[in-house]
Structure 1
């Protein structure tokens, strides 16, 4: 396809087809946008490496669509084509700088995958990083191109012995990694050893929804002073139940992402890097969610809303020798994994003692942080919220072409769902009299625990 000026609207409208195709730019010969059967789009240039008709034709990827705007990509292409006219060959230079297949370890390949693919294309790249920890530990110095399907099967068996779902997720990430690694123009590995491998473990559909009694037990149980988890983790779990956001979006909430928080329409603006398909999502906050945030933010400069304190430690110099000076405790954001770890607890291992989880402490059946999101959606529907409005608050995406053009944010409808959810939760949890709780406050270079009296009435 040729004769069209490549613009953002043109690029956004290009749809995947059964085979790869390229749309060439009318303004700059040799510059185009390539669309793969997977739907992936990239700006490319085509040129002859040398002079005369016998010079080989090369293709070179300027950038993935989304990483550069069309105008910026055209400018970069113009610079590259100018260099080519003076004898440069960017495709050859790229191949020369590429790690040699016979020397590239799996650990190096995994890092390349994370840096060049997962972090660029996936808002959930942290999950990929987590699932690659065990493969990286097992195959750290192995040559990536020499890893076989038997190696993969052995690893998945080891993981599946204790975590069958984790084995399936690891298999999926490895499949994506090796597929990416063997693509033309990259070819870090000759084959994908996971390509013909079926899933080894059956997974039951995720259907866990907490009943009213469990919700009540959890809500008030999170106030237990003997709870085997920090207060920020408890509040982050409540925040999921009060908003329907994903666990990572609760743990990752930053203070600057709270918009109109002290006004009549408090909102959580989730940035593109923590949302599927990379676009900002607005979540209206009801009073239960606002209360969790207010309690969690104990300092103006803490950055993240749900933070944990680092323990007091003795500072060390560049040589690692203790200076005798006590370091000031610091606030660090909690992680998505911290929420699961708090619910699960951990078994004893070596000299490390076992730690009870929240579920065991409260005598509750198994559930995950994500199950709180499903529970919130269920009770909102039970309270009369429309299914399509609940779907909007859950940020469940439409998959048809119309979704590309319909950018209405459904904020009024989402506000109504948040209000219905709050009313249903209050009916379930009831009220509780005045209680006392502990809050950490930093001051005078030590961690002080201040007894703060507050009224707990569903907040």
Structure 2
């Protein structure tokens, strides 16, 4: 038996009271939206439907908009209006909604991780700072917002991430991560009409003057760092690596990627391809630095290896890859320093970074009365007025004496009692 027809303005109360005849179905058309209505089955099931002629059909038919109880009347009526508009444009609502679902699936798949993967492949790989950018993403961004769709990201998500990074690793690291993520999102916006970066001005955690660091470690802080390093068991290369940053006055990755192919007799030649000023930088290897370089790893099968490495083969270090676990190891180092100071009743050590060791080495050279120009050359800085053709072997003797003076000054700091005994003996 065909459904019994009625036409009136539907209300929620009316729909609740609707009942189908004992031997048929009930169809109540809405007087507000043409073709829209409620259908009630013999068993009492109620659905919102739209009866009209859909594109490609020769006669009118009814399609379900939603079940009563699951869809509100106002929402169903609004959806019916939207369908009628699409039909008026010659579009089938079913096809449009299917395309919208496919688009949403694609959007959901476009996560922050997916964008970072593409950005790293297209823009980061091959950069001198590429490893640092990838490490920032891996350690700070991916664990926090990596699984989120970029289209669902809000400013509050970025702000929360930066606040956590600031608490864990300091405000400078938070701003460094912010800069990397901003570049990745700007890169995405160039090729994605629908994506708008949630990063806005005012998200930085430091001011420009604060980012220009001048931190150097005091003598007691140097002793604390060395004491803590001697207590670290893992990673095994980390104590030697950190000490090299001061004794060679290198940047983080310059020491981390030290390879025996760069060692030439008593010289360490950092190629311009991985040095900031794009010129080869030569560091005379003092006895103190030679001790940090160490011997060939037991698991290394060839004649060359990364000096600071944690990779193994057959349970033995093989030097196949450079050290990269900076964040985790630094946290462990800071924890040991904190424990040492607490046990001795001293105040916590002021926040510091590995790069501060390079600046500290330069300060120690000044204390050792090293000529300022030679000290700058030891840092790889180009002195104004040098000849146009760069001579990487220039001032080797002066640089060697400067690095030896640095090692001696460090030894005096680490062994103040021994220094006093030698002075008294004289």
Structure-2 change in CA distance of 1:297 and 1:382 (3 Å): farther
> Cα deviations across residues 167-225 of structure 1 (Å, max 9, x unaligned)?
22221111111223334xx44765443253441345575333233344455546655xx
Task: Answer yes or no: is 1:335 the counterpart of 2:318.
Answer: no
Uncovered stretches (5+) of structure 2, i.e. residues with no partner = 1-105, 419-426
* Residues 1:407 and 1:141: Cα distance change in structure 2 (over 3 Å): same
Equivalent residue for 2:257?
252
Give the superposed CA RMSD: 3.9
Query: CA, structure 1 residues 192+390, in 2 after alignment: closer, same or farther (shift >3 Å)?
Result: farther
Q: Is contact 1:147–1:193 with CA below 8 Å preserved after alignment?
A: yes
Q: Tell me if structure 2 keeps the 8 A contact 1:228–1:357.
A: no
Q: Which structure shows the bigger proportion of residues in strand conformation?
A: 1
Q: Equivalent residue for 2:130?
A: 125
Q: Please, which of 136, 141, 154 is the counterpart of residue 142 of structure 2?
A: 136
Question: Structure 1: how far apart are the matches of 2:228 and 2:107?
Answer: 54
The yes-or-no answer on 1:155 pairing with 2:161 is yes
Question: Superposition pairs for residues 11-50 of structure 1, below 5 Å?
Answer: none
Which residue is 1:286 aligned to? Answer: 286
Change (3 A) 1:219 1:136: closer
2:239 pairs with 1:234 = yes
Q: 1:213 to 1:253 in 2, by over 3 A?
A: same
Residues paired across the two proteins, number = 298
- Equivalent positions of 1:254-333 (< 5 A) are 254-260=259-265, 266-272=266-272, 274-276=274-276, 278-294=278-294, 301=301, 303-308=305-310, 310=312, 327-332=314-319, 333=321
Structure 2 CA distance for partners of 1:365 and 1:137, relative to 1, 3 Å: closer
Match of 2:390 in 1: 407
Further displaced range: 382-391 or 111-120: 382-391
Contact 1:175–1:195 (Cα < 8 Å) also in 2: no
* TM-score, with structure 1 as normaliser: 0.54
Cα pair distance change 1:395/1:386, threshold 3 Å? same
* SS state at 1:345 partner: helix
Asked if 2 retains the 8 angstrom alpha-carbon contact of 1:344 and 1:359, the reply is no
1:169 aligns with 2:171: no
Please tell me whether the aligned partners of residues 224 and 340 of structure 2 are also in contact (alpha carbons under 8 angstroms): no
Show CA shifts across 1:348-394 (max 9, x none).
xxxxxxx9535634768354332222221111112122333323322
Separation in 1 of the partners of 2:195 and 2:276? 31
- Residue 343 of structure 1, CA deviation: 4.6
Partner of 1:357 in structure 2?
336
SS of structure 1 residue aligned to 2:125: helix
Q: 1:303, CA displacement in angstroms?
A: 1.4
List runs of 5+ in structure 1 lacking aligned partners: 1-99, 261-265, 313-326, 347-354, 434-459
Matched, 1:194 2:199: yes
**131 and 216 in structure 1: CA distance in 2 versus 1, 3 angstrom threshold:** closer
More helix by share: 2
Tell me the TM-score normalised to structure 2 length. Answer: 0.57
Instruction: Give yes or no for contact 2:112–2:142 (8 Å, CA) kept in 1.
Output: yes
Structure with higher Rg: it is: 2
Give the distance between the partners of 2:311 and 2:172, measured in 1 at CA.
Answer: 32
